[in-house]
Structures are given as structure tokens and as C-alpha cells.
Amino acid sequence: MGAVVALERLLDQRQVWRGRQVQARPSGLQPSGHAALDACLPDGGWPVAALSELLLASPGCGELQLLWPTLARLTGAGERVVLVAPPFVPYAPAWQAAGVDLRWLVQVDADAQDALWATEQCLRSGSCAAVLCWPQRADDRALRRLQVAAETGAALAFACRPQQAALNPSPAALRIALDSRPAQWRVLKCRGGLPPVTPIAWRG
């Protein structure tokens, strides 16, 4: 009986994929701000309280253009967004032009060894709406900790990693590859449904 109860709990928490079964959308829908992308995702936007991986052809190849609409919406509502050890110094005028309210944007400087720990603490705190990190190295165990932390703190977690990481499995609810030539997004994995076959073109 205990195993049955445990399984039901996992199903209720959306931890087990039930194939193509139609599921109700979660509360607190988080649209990406890109209609073509939202139309491809089972939840109609970013997975709520979950880890999303952005797999980059190269650092700065379009992850900010992908995330800015969401970050602008969150900071515009007075919710905190945290950047943990970004690879480049954020250019404030560009963030402002994208609609991000800098009063709610926080940057945490950390070395490679501490960046994942800092990201996990921010996610668990419950005081952050979204946390972005660019881990140089992240194994399955580290990513799983970020996934659990995002659930605990009810936050959006974004891990920007090299595209080579797509060769390894990941506990992330969503994995999107960002290509530079051609400029497109490819959904590699999405919890609750099958990823679309056709890439989504975009212009940076």
C-alpha cells in the first residue's frame, strides 16, 4: 500500500510523465514571451517551479534575447531575478531597453566551485522569482539539486550550458538548444509532452 501512495504522490506532483495524456496546466503559468515557443510547450510557457536548461552554441548566442521578455515581466511585477556568475558583465542599458527593472535584478559573483551552491541557495530561499546560472561543470547530481531547489522555492531556474551537454541525460524539465547558424531554438526535451520536430527561427 505504501508504494501505491508514493506513486500517487509522484503523479500528483507531476514527477512522472504519463505519455500523451492531457493534463491540466499548472497554476502560475509562466509564458516565455515568444508566441511560437509557447505554442510548442505543453504548459504554454516555462515549466513552473522547475529547472530549464539552455544549451548554447556559444556563450551569449541568444540566451538573453530568449529570457528577457520573462525577466522584464517578473521584475516589472516587483519580483527578484538573480544572475549567478554570468560570463559577461551585464550591460545595464541593454537590460533596461529590454524592459527589465534593474531595481529587482541582482548579480551574485561566485567562482566556478561555488556558483552551483549559490544558485541552489537562491532558488531554495523562496525570495527569487527566477535564477540564472552559467555552470562550467554540472553533473546529474548537481542538476537534480537545482531541480529540487526550484521546486522548494517555487522559482524558475535557468542553467545556461554548452550544447555538448545535450549528449548527457538531465533531470531538467525543459531543454532548449540555441543555435547561432542558423539562428534558431530547438526544444530537445519537455516534461509532459513530446518535443516539436521543427526548430523555431528567431532573429537576435
Domain boundaries in the chain? Answer: 31-88+97-201
pTM for the whole thing? 0.84
Say whether pLDDT at 169 is over 70.
Answer: yes
Residue 203 banded pLDDT, cuts 50, 70, 90: low
Q: What is the pLDDT of residue 140?
A: 93
Instruction: Provide the H-helix boundaries in the chain.
Output: 2-12, 35-40, 63-76, 92-97, 112-124, 140-153
Distance, in Å, from the CA atom of 167 to the CA atom of 195, rounded to the nearest integer, reads 16
pLDDT digits (tens, 9 = 90+) for 59-91: 888 899 999 999 999 999 999 999 999 999 999
Mean pLDDT of 30-40: 94
- Residue 72 has phi, psi (to 5 degrees) of -65, -40
Task: Say yes or no to pLDDT of 6 above 60.
Answer: no
Fold observed for domain 31-88+97-201: Rossmann fold (3.40.50)
Q: Is residue 24's pLDDT more than 80?
A: no
d(CA 187, CA 15): 19
* Residue-level pLDDT at 25: 38
